[in-house]
Amino acid sequence: MECGRKRRAEGGEIDPSSLCPPPPFPSPACELLDNRLRIQYDSPSFAPKQVIFVAGSNMLAILLARTGHFVYNDRFGDFGMSDFVKDLASSLQQQIDAYKPQIAAQEVGHVLETGDGIARAAGLSNVKAQELVRFDNGVMGVAFNLEKDSVGIITLGDPSGIEEGMLVRGTGRIASVPVGDALIGRVVNALGEAVDGRGPIVTDKTRPIERIAPGVVERKDVKRPLQTGIKPIDSMIPIGRGQRELIIGDRQTGKTALAIDTIINQKGKDCICIYVAIGQKKAQVARVLGILEQAGAMEYTTIVVASADDPAAMQYIAPYSGSAIGEEFMETGRDALIVFDDLSKHAWAYRQVSLLLRRPPGREAYPGDVFYLHSRLLERAAQLSDERGGGSLTALPIIETLLGDVSAYVPTNVISITDGQIYLEADLFYSGIRPAVNVGISVSRVGGDAQTKAMRQVAGQLKGDMAAFRELAAFATFGSDLDKATQRQLDRGYRLTEILKQPQYEPVSLENQVMVMYAGTRGFTDTIPVDKMKAWEAAFIRFMETSHSEVAQEIVEKKAITPENEPRLKEAISQFNSGWQG
Ligand SMILES: Nc1ncnc2c1ncn2[C@@H]1O[C@H](COP(=O)(O)OP(=O)(O)OP(=O)(O)O)[C@@H](O)[C@H]1O
Ligand SMILES: [Mg+2]
């Protein structure tokens, strides 16, 4: 013992033969390795495999001790482990035994060129289409173009920090967003990150933003109505839960207003709403948020924003993110409504990234798969079968046209994908017919079955009256003499047109719509001056609510105009008309 210490103090080489073997142990085989003494014990009854002389360093002694080596160290003073080291050794040994290294091979590429929100990287040969990639500075991107020697990436964050030569790694997963009830009432970006300053979204559920739409057998007929609260739509272009109905029109024709009113009208109707704002100004989105908050609609609404100043890639993925959020509600047996405002700007963002990545441009410079871009999105709206929980996702995509040109590439595509369209016309809008719905060319292909019976009873006649009116109105402008029947048709039409007008943010309940339209189509308003129609309507609804609330209640309960409640309704209208002063 003494000999080892002395020799080390002298700084000379250690001669193994000069060291005394540890007294209670059998004689070991010694060898000197670098400046360390290694003593091998053969006896199986002696646990330590080796005795190692460690000069000076406690740390090294501990490290060796933990692997079962028997340590001799001048601080411990003799052969054998101190209690402290023994404890440490055993706990370290346990940790080492429990440690399972998680080694994963990761492919690393490097950026070849970058600019305009896109990057091209080499070395990512196993990356998949639409896979998320991470640049070395933390910015995420989506592998968009898989080419022979490189991958075209669209960046989801600030692209200014990405440089040539920067490392980029595949993450092995498709972009996903948080989903679930935690999203309700929040404003999030296209990656599902909160942007409303109310802290992060707390949920453990996520969904990939891209998903194959439910198959045919997983669906059932659209049978339940989605009340928009907008008179021309609910009566003549009814929308069912699970339907895809396009809102199409020039700029500033009230497209957003229709969608917002529909969201406001879902209050208390068990339908969660998702408003996806694509390529809009942030101020406009803030305005929509303010309106929804004021109407108490944010209690059941999520807003997904990819505004005009966000990278094109964010605008491109935003509607898919919104769909993923909506699908969670649908798949848990609930009803959801999603508004894409608007898909024209979505197509522009897609065209932008496609052209920058040198995809071959086709008609109107859109890439060849622009149809698929929207069809795979809108196919995800569905009414699920009872086996799948019976939930639904209704989609209201919005398309902006230029000078009413619905035969442009993107409008025709989306028209063919959806189950009908609501045309808004600038001429109608400026002539004061708001909502500016052209009911002559608007159509809903599946919503008719879903319409409430009461509404169907009044709307059947309304449609006929309005069609006849449109035909005659064109002739009437020439000012020719008209026979009495024609004049009556025209008068009816003017009054019904007034009834179908509606101010913004004031959706009308089903029962009030039914009662007013009943009065209009059954001739009770034919003698009311046209310019007084709006005042008549407001007063009539007030009267029905205060004096004859049982009529509306019965319509709600029976969902129809029955032989029992019809006379009561007629009687109430006559009573009101006789007392109305205008
Ligand atoms: N029913 C309505 N009654 C009165 N004003 C309305 C009505 N609907 C919309 N407006 C007004 O018309 C203007 C345009 O409406 P909105 O923003 O909804 O149109 P848009 O088609 O979405 O426009 P953009 O093309 O800019 O998105 C707004 O100022 C809005 O207040
Ligand atoms: Mg708008």
- 435, 450, 465 - which closes a domain: 450
- 213 in a domain, yes or no? no
Residue 297 lies in a domain: yes
125: phi then psi, degrees, rounded to nearest 5: -70, -20
Ligand 1 site-directed mutation target among 252, 261, 339, 430, most atoms within 8 Å of CB: 252
Residues listed for the chain: 582
**Looking at the domain assignment, is residue 208 inside a domain?**
no
205 within a domain of the structure (yes/no): no
Residue type, 471: E
Catalytic residue among 219, 445, 522, 568: 445
List pLDDT tens digits, range 178-234.
Answer: 999 999 999 999 999 999 999 999 999 999 999 999 999 999 999 999 999 999 999
Quick one: 315 and 262 in the same domain? yes
pLDDT score, position 70: 57
CB-facing half-sphere around the CA of 24: CA atoms within 13 A: 5
- Do residue 525 and residue 558 come from a single domain? yes
Q: Residues 465, 559: one domain?
A: yes
25: containing domain = 2-98
The CATH number for 531's domain is 1.20.150.20
Residue 53 included in any domain: yes
For atom 12 of ligand 1, the residue with the nearest CA is 254
SS3 540: helix
480 C-alpha to center of ligand 1: Å?
Answer: 36
Read off the tokens for 315: 């605008």
Q: Does 495 sit in the ligand 1 pocket, CB within 6 Å?
A: no
Residues 352 and 446 in one domain: yes
The CATH number given to whatever domain includes residue 277 is 3.40.50.300
Task: Tell me: do 74 and 89 sit in the same domain.
Answer: yes
265 and 316 part of one domain? yes
Paired sense of beta strands 176-178 and 118-122, if any? unpaired
d(CA 122, CA 133): 13
Considering the domain architecture, whether residues 569 and 459 belong to the same structural domain is answered as yes
Pocket residue to mutate for ligand 1, from 285, 428, 504, most atoms within 8 A of Cβ: 504
In a shared domain, residues 410 and 552: no
> 121 and 50, same structural domain?
no
- List the one residue out of 202, 182, 172, 213 whose CA is nearest residue 323: 213
45 C-alpha to ligand 2 centroid (Å):
84
Report CA(230)–ligand 1 centroid distance (Å): 14
Judgement on whether residues 404 and 470 belong to the same structural domain of the protein: no
405 shares its domain with 465:
no
Residues 19 and 130 in one domain: no
Is residue 390 assigned to a domain? Answer: yes
Give pLDDT, residue 482: 76
Q: Is 445 a catalytic residue?
A: yes
Written as six digits, the tokens of 310 are 């966000």
| Ligand closest in space to the Cα of 248 | 1
What's the one-letter identity of residue 546?
T
Of 395, 423, 450, the last residue of a domain is 450
> Residue 195 and residue 277: Cα distance in Å, rounded?
13
In a domain, 235, yes or no: yes
Q: Render pLDDT for 101-127 as a digit per residue (tens, 0 to 9).
A: 777 777 899 999 998 889 999 999 889
Last residue of a domain, one of 35, 69, 98: 98
Q: Name which of 193, 415, 226 is nearest 310 in CA terms.
A: 193
Q: Is 214 among the domain residues?
A: no
CA–CA separation, 22 vs 78, rounded Å?
Answer: 8
419, 445 in Cβ contact below 8 A?
Answer: yes
The per-residue pLDDT for 25 is 43
Interatomic CA distance for residues 559 and 552, integer angstroms = 10
Number of domains within the chain: 4
pLDDT along the chain (582 residues), means of 10: 41 49 47 52 49 53 56 47 71 85 80 92 90 93 91 91 93 91 96 94 93 93 95 95 96 96 96 97 96 96 95 94 97 97 95 92 93 96 96 97 94 95 95 92 89 92 85 75 84 93 94 95 93 94 94 93 93 93 76
Strand partners, 294: none
